[in-house]
Structure 1
Amino acid sequence: MIELVGPFQKSSYTTQLGECVEVAETADQGRAIRDSKQADGPLFVVSRSTWQDFIQHF
């Protein structure tokens, strides 16, 4: 089970229709990502290093 240490936050790239992803920090400093329209849906979980590599592209 994934342990979240903070609330989900909406992406700054949210569209006017509210279509976006939400991101929360995990206990091991990784990130859990979900579709904002499916709060009870599946999570995409990445490690801290993978998340850092990803955000460096923005």
Structure 2
Amino acid sequence: MPQVATHPDAERIADNLRKTTELTELGLTLRQAMLAQTHPQGQGIVQVMHEIRLAKEQAWRQGRS
């Protein structure tokens, strides 16, 4: 018979889901930045890092609310 998730387990699961969502958003942002890369060589990675930073900050803000 399956056990019902206890309160600490439910919190841990919710936290893992939030982290999974954040990593997915970061991965999609990285993919989008790479596909849309229009900068000269060497500048592309700067743009990618900028996009990742923005996505991470946005995910962090959403997680705090």
Quick check: TM above 0.5? no
Structure having the larger proportion of residues in strand:
1
Looking at secondary structure, tell me which structure has more helix per residue: 2
TM-score bracket for the superposition, by shorter chain length: under 0.3
Computing the radius of gyration from Cα coordinates, the structure with the larger value is 2
Give the structure, 1 or 2, with the largest relative contact order (CA under 8 Å, sep 6 or more): 2
TM-score w.r.t. the length of structure 2 is: 0.22
